[in-house]
Amino acid sequence: MPLQEELQNAPPAKLVVDHVTKIYRGNRQTVHALEDVSLNVAEGEFVCLLGPSGCGKSTLLNLIAGLEHPDSGELSADGEVITGPGRQRMVMFQEHALFPWLDVTENVLFGLNLKPHLTDEDRAGVARAFLEIVGLTQFAKASIHELSGGMKQRVALARALAPNPQVLLMDEPFAALDAMTREQLYEDLQKIQQKRRKTIIFVTHNVREAVCLGDRVLLFTPRPGKIRAEFKVDLPRPRDINDVEVAQLASAITQELKNLLQSTPL
Amino acid sequence: MIPTATPSPPSGARKKIRYSEPSVLSQTVSAVAFFAVLIGLWEYGSRSRWWNPVLIPAPLDIANYIIRSFHDGELLKACWVTIKRLMIGYVIGIALGIPLGLLTARFKFANNTLGVTALGLQTLPSVCWVPLSLLWFGQTETAMLFIVVMGTLWAVLLATDHGIRQIPPIYRRAAATMGSSGFHLLWHVLLPASLPHLVSGTKQGWAFAWRSLMAAEIYVTVLTGFGLGHLLHYGRELHAMDQVAAVMLVILLIGFAADKALFSPWERFLRKRWGLTV
Protein backbone atom coordinates (compact mmCIF):
# COMPACT_ATOMS: atom_id res chain seq x y z
CA MET A 1 0.00 0.00 0.00
CA PRO A 2 1.59 3.29 -1.02
CA LEU A 3 2.38 5.92 1.56
CA GLN A 4 -0.12 8.48 0.27
CA GLU A 5 -2.96 6.03 0.55
CA GLU A 6 -1.91 5.07 4.05
CA LEU A 7 -1.83 8.69 5.12
CA GLN A 8 -5.36 9.25 3.90
CA ASN A 9 -7.87 9.00 6.66
CA ALA A 10 -9.80 5.80 7.22
CA PRO A 11 -13.53 6.48 7.26
CA PRO A 12 -14.65 6.83 10.88
CA ALA A 13 -16.80 4.04 12.28
CA LYS A 14 -20.18 4.01 13.88
CA LEU A 15 -20.36 2.54 17.38
CA VAL A 16 -23.36 0.84 18.92
CA VAL A 17 -23.58 -0.13 22.57
CA ASP A 18 -26.66 -2.25 23.05
CA HIS A 19 -28.04 -2.87 26.57
CA VAL A 20 -24.64 -3.60 28.06
CA THR A 21 -24.21 -4.72 31.66
CA LYS A 22 -20.87 -5.31 33.35
CA ILE A 23 -20.52 -6.65 36.87
CA TYR A 24 -17.28 -7.11 38.84
CA ARG A 25 -17.57 -9.84 41.42
CA GLY A 26 -15.05 -9.54 44.19
CA ASN A 27 -14.67 -11.61 47.36
CA ARG A 28 -16.41 -9.05 49.53
CA GLN A 29 -18.74 -7.23 47.20
CA THR A 30 -20.24 -7.13 43.76
CA VAL A 31 -19.95 -3.90 41.79
CA HIS A 32 -22.41 -3.08 39.06
CA ALA A 33 -19.97 -1.10 36.95
CA LEU A 34 -22.48 -0.70 34.11
CA GLU A 35 -26.15 -1.48 34.09
CA ASP A 36 -28.15 -1.68 30.89
CA VAL A 37 -26.24 1.02 29.07
CA SER A 38 -27.17 1.78 25.48
CA LEU A 39 -25.45 4.28 23.26
CA ASN A 40 -25.14 5.18 19.60
CA VAL A 41 -22.16 7.10 18.34
CA ALA A 42 -22.22 8.47 14.81
CA GLU A 43 -19.28 8.30 12.40
CA GLY A 44 -16.78 11.01 13.23
CA GLU A 45 -18.57 12.11 16.35
CA PHE A 46 -16.64 13.33 19.41
CA VAL A 47 -18.42 11.99 22.50
CA CYS A 48 -17.32 12.78 26.03
CA LEU A 49 -18.20 10.41 28.87
CA LEU A 50 -18.42 12.51 32.00
CA GLY A 51 -18.88 11.47 35.60
CA PRO A 52 -17.26 11.08 39.00
CA SER A 53 -14.64 8.39 39.66
CA GLY A 54 -15.97 4.86 39.76
CA CYS A 55 -19.07 5.52 37.67
CA GLY A 56 -18.22 2.99 34.97
CA LYS A 57 -17.11 5.33 32.22
CA SER A 58 -13.65 3.75 31.95
CA THR A 59 -15.29 0.32 32.00
CA LEU A 60 -17.39 1.30 29.00
CA LEU A 61 -14.27 2.50 27.22
CA ASN A 62 -12.47 -0.79 27.92
CA LEU A 63 -15.47 -2.71 26.62
CA ILE A 64 -15.48 -0.71 23.39
CA ALA A 65 -11.73 -1.29 23.13
CA GLY A 66 -12.36 -5.02 23.48
CA LEU A 67 -10.05 -5.26 26.50
CA GLU A 68 -12.95 -6.52 28.60
CA HIS A 69 -16.17 -8.37 27.82
CA PRO A 70 -19.72 -7.46 28.84
CA ASP A 71 -21.77 -9.73 31.10
CA SER A 72 -24.79 -9.12 28.91
CA GLY A 73 -25.58 -7.02 25.90
CA GLU A 74 -23.49 -6.40 22.84
CA LEU A 75 -21.11 -3.83 21.43
CA SER A 76 -20.42 -3.33 17.77
CA ALA A 77 -18.29 -1.14 15.54
CA ASP A 78 -19.52 -0.59 11.99
CA GLY A 79 -21.97 -3.44 12.42
CA GLU A 80 -19.36 -5.94 13.58
CA VAL A 81 -19.59 -7.30 17.09
CA ILE A 82 -16.57 -6.41 19.24
CA THR A 83 -14.98 -9.59 20.61
CA GLY A 84 -11.45 -8.42 21.35
CA PRO A 85 -8.98 -5.59 20.83
CA GLY A 86 -8.68 -4.45 17.23
CA ARG A 87 -6.45 -2.12 15.29
CA GLN A 88 -9.48 -0.12 14.19
CA ARG A 89 -9.98 1.07 17.76
CA MET A 90 -6.90 2.57 19.37
CA VAL A 91 -6.69 3.52 23.02
CA MET A 92 -4.89 6.35 24.78
CA PHE A 93 -4.54 5.83 28.52
CA GLN A 94 -4.14 8.25 31.39
CA GLU A 95 -0.59 7.02 31.89
CA HIS A 96 1.17 7.37 28.58
CA ALA A 97 1.92 3.62 28.42
CA LEU A 98 4.86 4.26 26.09
CA PHE A 99 7.51 1.55 26.01
CA PRO A 100 10.71 2.73 27.70
CA TRP A 101 12.95 0.34 25.74
CA LEU A 102 12.01 2.02 22.45
CA ASP A 103 12.80 5.56 21.34
CA VAL A 104 10.08 8.00 20.25
CA THR A 105 9.95 6.88 16.61
CA GLU A 106 10.07 3.18 17.52
CA ASN A 107 7.14 3.71 19.87
CA VAL A 108 5.10 5.30 17.08
CA LEU A 109 6.14 2.43 14.82
CA PHE A 110 4.99 -0.27 17.25
CA GLY A 111 1.40 -0.40 16.01
CA LEU A 112 2.42 0.23 12.42
CA ASN A 113 4.81 -2.72 12.44
CA LEU A 114 1.90 -4.98 13.24
CA LYS A 115 -0.03 -3.70 10.24
CA PRO A 116 0.47 -5.94 7.21
CA HIS A 117 1.00 -4.91 3.58
CA LEU A 118 3.29 -1.98 4.32
CA THR A 119 6.95 -1.58 3.41
CA ASP A 120 9.39 -0.39 6.06
CA GLU A 121 9.79 2.83 4.11
CA ASP A 122 6.05 3.45 4.22
CA ARG A 123 5.99 2.82 7.93
CA ALA A 124 8.86 5.21 8.54
CA GLY A 125 7.08 7.81 6.41
CA VAL A 126 3.83 7.44 8.35
CA ALA A 127 5.66 7.69 11.69
CA ARG A 128 7.45 10.83 10.52
CA ALA A 129 4.18 12.37 9.36
CA PHE A 130 2.47 11.80 12.71
CA LEU A 131 5.41 13.04 14.74
CA GLU A 132 5.15 16.19 12.67
CA ILE A 133 1.41 16.46 13.38
CA VAL A 134 2.05 16.35 17.13
CA GLY A 135 5.04 18.67 16.76
CA LEU A 136 7.79 16.32 17.90
CA THR A 137 9.90 15.93 14.77
CA GLN A 138 12.98 17.14 16.67
CA PHE A 139 12.55 14.41 19.27
CA ALA A 140 12.25 11.48 16.87
CA LYS A 141 15.30 9.75 18.37
CA ALA A 142 14.82 10.81 22.00
CA SER A 143 14.30 8.30 24.82
CA ILE A 144 10.94 8.38 26.57
CA HIS A 145 12.40 9.30 29.97
CA GLU A 146 13.85 12.46 28.46
CA LEU A 147 10.43 13.86 27.52
CA SER A 148 8.10 16.02 29.61
CA GLY A 149 4.65 14.75 30.58
CA GLY A 150 2.96 16.71 27.78
CA MET A 151 5.42 15.45 25.18
CA LYS A 152 4.88 11.87 26.31
CA GLN A 153 1.14 12.21 25.79
CA ARG A 154 1.79 13.68 22.36
CA VAL A 155 3.88 10.65 21.46
CA ALA A 156 1.09 8.43 22.79
CA LEU A 157 -1.37 10.33 20.58
CA ALA A 158 0.88 9.91 17.54
CA ARG A 159 1.25 6.20 18.34
CA ALA A 160 -2.53 5.81 18.57
CA LEU A 161 -3.16 7.73 15.34
CA ALA A 162 -0.40 6.18 13.25
CA PRO A 163 -2.06 2.84 12.41
CA ASN A 164 -4.96 4.92 11.07
CA PRO A 165 -7.76 3.65 13.32
CA GLN A 166 -11.40 4.49 12.74
CA VAL A 167 -12.05 5.03 16.41
CA LEU A 168 -9.91 6.73 19.05
CA LEU A 169 -10.66 5.85 22.67
CA MET A 170 -9.20 8.24 25.21
CA ASP A 171 -9.26 7.48 28.94
CA GLU A 172 -8.55 10.74 30.80
CA PRO A 173 -5.43 11.19 28.71
CA PHE A 174 -4.64 14.70 29.96
CA ALA A 175 -5.61 14.29 33.61
CA ALA A 176 -2.05 14.04 34.88
CA LEU A 177 -0.78 17.11 33.02
CA ASP A 178 -0.45 20.69 34.21
CA ALA A 179 -3.13 23.18 33.15
CA MET A 180 -1.08 25.00 30.52
CA THR A 181 0.09 21.86 28.78
CA ARG A 182 -3.45 20.54 28.90
CA GLU A 183 -4.90 23.63 27.21
CA GLN A 184 -2.36 23.35 24.44
CA LEU A 185 -3.33 19.73 23.91
CA TYR A 186 -7.05 20.62 23.73
CA GLU A 187 -6.18 22.89 20.86
CA ASP A 188 -4.00 20.26 19.19
CA LEU A 189 -6.59 17.54 19.57
CA GLN A 190 -9.30 19.70 18.00
CA LYS A 191 -7.01 20.56 15.10
CA ILE A 192 -6.19 16.92 14.54
CA GLN A 193 -9.85 16.01 14.75
CA GLN A 194 -10.60 18.56 12.03
CA LYS A 195 -7.83 17.26 9.82
CA ARG A 196 -8.38 13.54 10.37
CA ARG A 197 -11.93 12.93 11.31
CA LYS A 198 -12.14 10.04 13.79
CA THR A 199 -14.89 8.76 15.97
CA ILE A 200 -13.62 9.73 19.43
CA ILE A 201 -14.79 8.57 22.83
CA PHE A 202 -13.19 10.69 25.51
CA VAL A 203 -13.50 9.82 29.20
CA THR A 204 -13.11 12.64 31.72
CA HIS A 205 -14.28 13.87 35.10
CA ASN A 206 -13.61 17.48 34.13
CA VAL A 207 -16.86 19.16 33.01
CA ARG A 208 -15.19 22.04 31.17
CA GLU A 209 -12.89 19.67 29.35
CA ALA A 210 -15.89 17.66 28.21
CA VAL A 211 -17.74 20.74 26.95
CA CYS A 212 -14.63 22.13 25.28
CA LEU A 213 -13.96 18.96 23.31
CA GLY A 214 -17.19 17.06 22.78
CA ASP A 215 -19.96 17.23 20.21
CA ARG A 216 -21.98 15.48 22.84
CA VAL A 217 -21.49 15.03 26.59
CA LEU A 218 -22.94 12.00 28.35
CA LEU A 219 -23.37 12.23 32.08
CA PHE A 220 -22.71 9.04 34.06
CA THR A 221 -23.71 8.31 37.64
CA PRO A 222 -22.27 5.48 39.70
CA ARG A 223 -23.63 2.37 41.45
CA PRO A 224 -24.96 1.17 39.14
CA GLY A 225 -23.14 2.91 36.30
CA LYS A 226 -25.74 4.47 34.04
CA ILE A 227 -26.01 7.27 31.52
CA ARG A 228 -28.25 9.79 33.26
CA ALA A 229 -28.27 12.80 30.99
CA GLU A 230 -27.07 13.92 27.61
CA PHE A 231 -26.02 17.37 26.38
CA LYS A 232 -25.40 18.43 22.81
CA VAL A 233 -22.64 20.99 22.44
CA ASP A 234 -23.27 23.12 19.37
CA LEU A 235 -20.58 25.72 19.96
CA PRO A 236 -18.35 26.61 16.99
CA ARG A 237 -14.84 25.09 16.81
CA PRO A 238 -12.06 25.48 17.66
CA ARG A 239 -13.19 26.09 21.19
CA ASP A 240 -11.08 27.34 24.04
CA ILE A 241 -11.57 26.02 27.55
CA ASN A 242 -11.77 29.64 28.75
CA ASP A 243 -14.58 30.67 26.35
CA VAL A 244 -17.59 32.16 28.09
CA GLU A 245 -19.99 29.82 26.30
CA VAL A 246 -17.99 26.80 27.35
CA ALA A 247 -17.98 28.01 30.95
CA GLN A 248 -21.72 28.67 30.92
CA LEU A 249 -22.65 25.28 29.57
CA ALA A 250 -20.18 23.63 31.93
CA SER A 251 -21.75 25.26 34.98
CA ALA A 252 -25.22 24.20 33.83
CA ILE A 253 -23.99 20.59 33.52
CA THR A 254 -22.25 20.78 36.87
CA GLN A 255 -25.52 21.86 38.47
CA GLU A 256 -27.32 18.96 36.82
CA LEU A 257 -24.63 16.55 38.02
CA LYS A 258 -25.00 17.82 41.58
CA ASN A 259 -28.76 17.31 41.48
CA LEU A 260 -28.34 13.78 40.15
CA LEU A 261 -25.74 12.87 42.74
CA GLN A 262 -27.88 14.21 45.57
CA SER A 263 -30.71 11.94 44.50
CA THR A 264 -28.33 8.96 44.53
CA PRO A 265 -26.17 9.29 47.65
CA LEU A 266 -22.59 8.14 47.27
CA MET B 1 14.68 16.77 30.64
CA ILE B 2 15.93 17.55 27.17
CA PRO B 3 19.66 16.94 26.92
CA THR B 4 20.25 19.61 24.29
CA ALA B 5 18.35 22.24 26.23
CA THR B 6 20.50 22.30 29.36
CA PRO B 7 22.54 25.50 29.08
CA SER B 8 26.14 25.34 30.21
CA PRO B 9 26.79 27.86 32.97
CA PRO B 10 28.79 30.94 32.02
CA SER B 11 32.50 30.47 32.68
CA GLY B 12 32.52 33.22 35.29
CA ALA B 13 29.95 31.38 37.36
CA ARG B 14 31.83 28.10 37.16
CA LYS B 15 34.78 29.34 39.17
CA LYS B 16 32.64 30.02 42.19
CA ILE B 17 31.28 26.49 42.28
CA ARG B 18 33.74 24.51 44.35
CA TYR B 19 32.37 21.04 43.78
CA SER B 20 33.42 20.79 40.13
CA GLU B 21 35.22 17.46 39.56
CA PRO B 22 38.91 17.24 38.65
CA SER B 23 39.55 16.26 35.02
CA VAL B 24 39.58 12.62 33.94
CA LEU B 25 43.28 12.84 33.16
CA SER B 26 44.30 14.02 36.60
CA GLN B 27 42.03 11.43 38.22
CA THR B 28 43.66 8.68 36.14
CA VAL B 29 47.16 9.93 36.90
CA SER B 30 46.57 10.00 40.65
CA ALA B 31 45.01 6.50 40.63
CA VAL B 32 47.91 5.08 38.59
CA ALA B 33 50.40 6.79 40.89
CA PHE B 34 48.72 5.23 43.92
CA PHE B 35 49.02 1.70 42.56
CA ALA B 36 52.57 2.31 41.33
CA VAL B 37 53.66 3.36 44.80
CA LEU B 38 51.84 0.40 46.35
CA ILE B 39 53.48 -2.13 44.00
CA GLY B 40 56.85 -0.43 44.49
CA LEU B 41 56.57 -0.74 48.27
CA TRP B 42 55.47 -4.33 47.91
CA GLU B 43 58.47 -5.17 45.72
CA TYR B 44 60.83 -3.35 48.05
CA GLY B 45 59.31 -5.04 51.12
CA SER B 46 59.76 -8.52 49.61
CA ARG B 47 63.32 -7.82 48.53
CA SER B 48 64.41 -6.46 51.89
CA ARG B 49 62.69 -9.30 53.73
CA TRP B 50 60.11 -7.27 55.65
CA TRP B 51 58.15 -10.46 55.33
CA ASN B 52 58.87 -13.95 54.06
CA PRO B 53 58.76 -13.72 50.22
CA VAL B 54 57.50 -17.29 50.06
CA LEU B 55 54.31 -16.18 51.81
CA ILE B 56 53.90 -12.97 49.85
CA PRO B 57 55.81 -13.23 46.58
CA ALA B 58 57.25 -10.08 45.03
CA PRO B 59 55.47 -8.46 42.06
CA LEU B 60 58.46 -9.10 39.79
CA ASP B 61 58.39 -12.82 40.61
CA ILE B 62 54.72 -12.93 39.79
CA ALA B 63 55.35 -11.12 36.51
CA ASN B 64 58.18 -13.55 35.81
CA TYR B 65 55.92 -16.53 36.31
CA ILE B 66 53.28 -15.05 34.03
CA ILE B 67 55.82 -14.45 31.26
CA ARG B 68 57.33 -17.92 31.64
CA SER B 69 54.05 -19.81 31.68
CA PHE B 70 52.77 -17.63 28.88
CA HIS B 71 55.69 -18.80 26.77
CA ASP B 72 55.33 -22.48 27.53
CA GLY B 73 51.59 -22.15 26.86
CA GLU B 74 50.52 -23.53 30.24
CA LEU B 75 48.68 -20.42 31.38
CA LEU B 76 46.87 -19.76 28.12
CA LYS B 77 45.76 -23.36 27.89
CA ALA B 78 44.38 -23.26 31.43
CA CYS B 79 42.60 -19.98 30.69
CA TRP B 80 41.02 -21.47 27.62
CA VAL B 81 39.85 -24.61 29.45
CA THR B 82 38.29 -22.53 32.21
CA ILE B 83 36.67 -19.94 29.95
CA LYS B 84 35.26 -22.65 27.70
CA ARG B 85 33.66 -24.43 30.65
CA LEU B 86 32.29 -21.21 31.99
CA MET B 87 30.85 -20.02 28.69
CA ILE B 88 29.21 -23.29 27.72
CA GLY B 89 27.74 -23.78 31.19
CA TYR B 90 26.60 -20.19 31.36
CA VAL B 91 24.89 -20.30 27.97
CA ILE B 92 23.12 -23.54 28.91
CA GLY B 93 22.06 -21.98 32.21
CA ILE B 94 20.56 -18.95 30.47
CA ALA B 95 18.97 -20.97 27.69
CA LEU B 96 17.18 -23.04 30.34
CA GLY B 97 16.63 -20.31 32.93
CA ILE B 98 14.78 -17.77 30.78
CA PRO B 99 12.15 -20.14 29.32
CA LEU B 100 11.61 -21.80 32.71
CA GLY B 101 11.24 -18.37 34.31
CA LEU B 102 8.63 -17.47 31.71
CA LEU B 103 6.84 -20.69 32.56
CA THR B 104 6.76 -20.04 36.30
CA ALA B 105 5.59 -16.47 35.72
CA ARG B 106 2.79 -17.66 33.46
CA PHE B 107 1.46 -20.81 35.12
CA LYS B 108 0.46 -21.09 38.75
CA PHE B 109 1.30 -24.80 38.86
CA ALA B 110 4.81 -24.24 37.50
CA ASN B 111 5.29 -21.48 40.04
CA ASN B 112 4.13 -23.64 42.95
CA THR B 113 6.45 -26.47 41.97
CA LEU B 114 9.41 -25.33 39.88
CA GLY B 115 9.34 -21.81 41.32
CA VAL B 116 9.60 -23.06 44.88
CA THR B 117 12.36 -25.49 43.89
CA ALA B 118 14.30 -22.66 42.29
CA LEU B 119 13.90 -20.48 45.34
CA GLY B 120 15.32 -23.29 47.50
CA LEU B 121 18.16 -24.33 45.23
CA GLN B 122 19.23 -20.74 44.64
CA THR B 123 20.25 -20.52 48.28
CA LEU B 124 22.43 -23.62 47.90
CA PRO B 125 26.01 -22.68 46.94
CA SER B 126 26.44 -24.60 43.71
CA VAL B 127 29.82 -26.01 44.75
CA CYS B 128 27.75 -28.21 47.08
CA TRP B 129 26.75 -30.10 43.95
CA VAL B 130 30.34 -31.30 43.42
CA PRO B 131 30.09 -34.63 45.28
CA LEU B 132 26.89 -35.66 43.53
CA SER B 133 28.06 -34.34 40.20
CA LEU B 134 31.23 -36.45 40.42
CA LEU B 135 29.20 -39.49 41.32
CA TRP B 136 26.82 -38.99 38.40
CA PHE B 137 29.22 -37.91 35.69
CA GLY B 138 32.63 -39.04 36.90
CA GLN B 139 35.73 -36.86 36.59
CA THR B 140 34.60 -35.37 33.30
CA GLU B 141 33.79 -32.07 31.64
CA THR B 142 30.11 -32.80 32.15
CA ALA B 143 30.60 -32.76 35.91
CA MET B 144 32.18 -29.31 35.66
CA LEU B 145 29.47 -28.01 33.35
CA PHE B 146 26.78 -29.29 35.66
CA ILE B 147 28.17 -27.24 38.52
CA VAL B 148 28.32 -24.10 36.38
CA VAL B 149 24.77 -24.65 35.14
CA MET B 150 23.50 -25.11 38.70
CA GLY B 151 25.13 -21.80 39.60
CA THR B 152 23.53 -19.92 36.71
CA LEU B 153 20.16 -21.53 36.18
CA TRP B 154 18.26 -20.64 39.36
CA ALA B 155 19.35 -17.03 39.53
CA VAL B 156 18.36 -16.47 35.89
CA LEU B 157 15.08 -18.33 36.32
CA LEU B 158 14.07 -16.27 39.34
CA ALA B 159 15.13 -12.99 37.73
CA THR B 160 13.06 -13.76 34.61
CA ASP B 161 10.08 -14.74 36.71
CA HIS B 162 10.35 -11.59 38.78
CA GLY B 163 10.96 -9.40 35.73
CA ILE B 164 7.82 -10.66 33.99
CA ARG B 165 5.68 -10.23 37.10
CA GLN B 166 6.63 -6.61 37.69
CA ILE B 167 5.69 -5.45 34.17
CA PRO B 168 3.02 -2.77 34.53
CA PRO B 169 -0.25 -4.27 33.21
CA ILE B 170 -0.76 -1.18 31.07
CA TYR B 171 2.05 -2.29 28.71
CA ARG B 172 0.19 -5.46 27.92
CA ARG B 173 -3.08 -3.59 27.43
CA ALA B 174 -1.50 -0.97 25.19
CA ALA B 175 0.21 -3.69 23.16
CA ALA B 176 -3.04 -5.66 22.90
CA THR B 177 -4.93 -2.69 21.46
CA MET B 178 -2.22 -2.34 18.83
CA GLY B 179 -2.70 -5.96 17.82
CA SER B 180 0.21 -7.60 19.63
CA SER B 181 -0.34 -11.06 21.07
CA GLY B 182 1.33 -14.45 21.50
CA PHE B 183 4.94 -14.65 20.43
CA HIS B 184 5.02 -11.03 19.25
CA LEU B 185 3.89 -9.87 22.69
CA LEU B 186 6.52 -12.05 24.37
CA TRP B 187 9.39 -10.98 22.13
CA HIS B 188 8.57 -7.30 21.65
CA VAL B 189 6.94 -6.40 24.96
CA LEU B 190 7.36 -8.87 27.81
CA LEU B 191 11.06 -9.67 27.39
CA PRO B 192 12.22 -6.08 26.76
CA ALA B 193 9.97 -4.81 29.56
CA SER B 194 11.73 -7.14 32.00
CA LEU B 195 15.19 -6.29 30.67
CA PRO B 196 16.38 -4.46 33.82
CA HIS B 197 15.66 -7.60 35.86
CA LEU B 198 17.09 -9.90 33.21
CA VAL B 199 20.36 -7.98 33.15
CA SER B 200 20.78 -8.02 36.91
CA GLY B 201 19.69 -11.68 37.04
CA THR B 202 22.12 -12.86 34.36
CA LYS B 203 24.84 -10.83 36.05
CA GLN B 204 24.14 -12.55 39.34
CA GLY B 205 24.08 -15.90 37.54
CA TRP B 206 27.46 -15.08 36.04
CA ALA B 207 28.92 -14.31 39.44
CA PHE B 208 27.60 -17.57 40.87
CA ALA B 209 28.86 -19.60 37.92
CA TRP B 210 32.32 -18.06 38.04
CA ARG B 211 32.73 -18.62 41.78
CA SER B 212 31.45 -22.16 41.74
CA LEU B 213 33.61 -23.15 38.78
CA MET B 214 36.70 -21.88 40.56
CA ALA B 215 35.76 -23.78 43.71
CA ALA B 216 35.12 -26.94 41.70
CA GLU B 217 38.40 -26.70 39.81
CA ILE B 218 40.40 -26.24 42.98
CA TYR B 219 38.56 -29.08 44.64
CA VAL B 220 38.44 -31.70 41.87
CA THR B 221 40.96 -32.84 39.33
CA VAL B 222 39.38 -33.50 35.99
CA LEU B 223 41.50 -35.45 33.57
CA THR B 224 39.98 -33.91 30.48
CA GLY B 225 41.24 -30.41 31.09
CA PHE B 226 43.53 -28.45 33.33
CA GLY B 227 41.88 -25.14 34.29
CA LEU B 228 42.96 -22.09 36.23
CA GLY B 229 41.64 -23.56 39.46
CA HIS B 230 43.91 -26.60 39.02
CA LEU B 231 46.85 -24.36 38.36
CA LEU B 232 46.09 -22.63 41.63
CA HIS B 233 45.75 -25.91 43.44
CA TYR B 234 49.07 -27.29 42.15
CA GLY B 235 50.74 -23.99 42.88
CA ARG B 236 49.88 -24.60 46.50
CA GLU B 237 51.03 -28.23 46.40
CA LEU B 238 54.38 -27.16 44.97
CA HIS B 239 54.68 -24.19 47.36
CA ALA B 240 54.98 -22.00 44.28
CA MET B 241 53.33 -18.95 45.68
CA ASP B 242 54.33 -16.82 42.70
CA GLN B 243 52.20 -19.18 40.62
CA VAL B 244 49.30 -18.93 43.08
CA ALA B 245 49.38 -15.15 43.14
CA ALA B 246 49.75 -14.94 39.36
CA VAL B 247 46.79 -17.24 38.74
CA MET B 248 44.73 -15.23 41.21
CA LEU B 249 45.58 -12.13 39.23
CA VAL B 250 44.57 -13.79 35.97
CA ILE B 251 41.26 -14.99 37.49
CA LEU B 252 40.57 -11.47 38.67
CA LEU B 253 41.32 -10.02 35.24
CA ILE B 254 39.09 -12.53 33.45
CA GLY B 255 36.21 -11.74 35.79
CA PHE B 256 36.72 -8.04 35.25
CA ALA B 257 36.95 -8.34 31.46
CA ALA B 258 33.86 -10.58 31.27
CA ASP B 259 31.88 -8.10 33.31
CA LYS B 260 32.87 -5.30 30.95
CA ALA B 261 32.29 -7.29 27.77
CA LEU B 262 29.05 -9.07 28.73
CA PHE B 263 27.18 -6.58 30.87
CA SER B 264 28.44 -3.08 30.23
CA PRO B 265 26.69 -2.77 26.83
CA TRP B 266 23.36 -3.76 28.36
CA GLU B 267 23.81 -1.47 31.31
CA ARG B 268 24.67 1.40 28.98
CA PHE B 269 21.48 0.67 27.03
CA LEU B 270 19.41 0.65 30.22
CA ARG B 271 20.91 3.96 31.29
CA LYS B 272 20.25 5.53 27.92
CA ARG B 273 16.71 4.30 27.37
CA TRP B 274 15.22 3.86 30.82
CA GLY B 275 17.36 6.50 32.48
CA LEU B 276 18.21 3.85 35.05
CA THR B 277 21.45 3.44 36.91
CA VAL B 278 22.04 -0.23 37.53
Q: What is the ipTM of this complex?
A: 0.85
For residue B86, which of B156, B148, B157 has the smallest C-alpha distance? B148
Question: How many Å apart are CA A64 and CA A30, to the nearest integer?
Answer: 22
Q: Would residue B68 be called left, alpha or beta, if left means φ above 0 and alpha means ψ between -120 and 50 degrees? A: alpha
Q: What is the pLDDT of residue A2?
A: 57
Cα B18 from Cα B194, distance rounded (Å): 40
Q: Which residues pair with A75 in a beta bridge?
A: A17
Tell me the pTM. Answer: 0.80
**Cβ contacts (< 8 Å) between A107 and chain B: which residues?**
none
How far away is chain B from the Cα of A178, in angstroms, using its nearest Cα? 16
> How high does pLDDT run on average in chain A?
86
CA angle A218, A221, A225 (to 5 degrees): 95
Q: What is the pLDDT of residue B10?
A: 45
Q: Checking phi first, is residue A79 left (phi over 0); if not, alpha (psi -120 to 50) or beta?
A: left
Query: Is A122 in contact with A77 (CB distance < 8 Å)?
Result: no
Question: CA of A260 to nearest chain B CA: how many angstroms apart?
Answer: 33
CB atoms A97 and B273 under 8 Å: no
**pLDDT at site B9:** 45
pLDDT in the model for residue A264: 59
**pLDDT value, residue A241:** 85
Higher pLDDT, A65 or B53: A65
Q: What does the pLDDT read at residue B102? A: 93
* CATH superfamily of the A3-263 domain: P-loop containing nucleotide triphosphate hydrolases (3.40.50.300)
Residue A25 pairs with which residues in a beta bridge? A30
Cα(A50)–Cα(A56) distance, rounded to whole angstroms? 10
Average pLDDT, 10 consecutive residues per value, chain B (278 residues):
45 53 86 93 88 84 88 88 92 94 92 91 87 89 90 92 92 90 91 92 90 86 82 86 90 90 89 77
State how far the Cα of A23 lies from the Cα of A27, in Å rounded to an integer.
13
How confident is the model at residue A44, as a pLDDT? 85
Mean per-residue pLDDT, A117-136: 88
Q: Which of A47-51, A176-180, B191-195, B228-232 has the lowest mean pLDDT?
A: A176-180
Is B93:B85 a contact under the CB 8 Å cutoff? no
| Domain residue extents for chain A | 3-263
Name the closest residue on chain B to residue A107, using Cα atoms: B175
Contacts of B274 in chain A (CB under 8 A): 100-101, 143, 145
Please, where are the H alpha helices in B21-140? 24-47, 59-71, 74-106, 108-110, 116-122, 130-137
Chain B residues with CB under 8 Å of A147 CB are: 1-2
Question: Residue B157 contacts by C-beta under 8 Å, 6 or more apart in sequence?
Answer: B96, B97, B98, B100, B101, B104, B114, B118
